[in-house]
Amino acid sequence: MLFPIWKLLAILGSLLGVGGQGIAVIATIFWVWVLIDCLTKEPAESNDKIAWVLVILLVPVLGALAYYFVRRPERVKVAGR
């Protein structure tokens, strides 16, 4: 069974000595990093880039997680970046 991401964030937040606000900060940093990764490294040949940016923007944490675990490994395997 996959370890729930919110438990991982809670453990990370408690290790850093922060509560719920720390988890929100970590999630926001992750979201911004994934959005920048998508905007700068996703190929622009098709509408995939636009679709993923919209998913990341409209469903912030879940969209970022989906991009990170679904699309990014595929892009890295194909394009090498």
Domain extents for the chain?
Answer: 5-79
Confidence at residue 1, expressed as pLDDT on a 0 to 100 scale: 43
Identify the residue with better confidence: 53 or 14: 53
Q: Give residue-wise pLDDT tens across range 39-67.
A: 988 887 778 889 999 999 999 889 999 98
Rg (CA), the chain: 14
Dihedral sign of CA atoms 36, 2, 71, 58 in order: negative
pTM strictly above 0.75: no
The candidate with the shortest Cα–Cα distance to 75, out of 51, 50, 48, is 48
Confidence of residue 72 (pLDDT cuts 50, 70, 90): confident
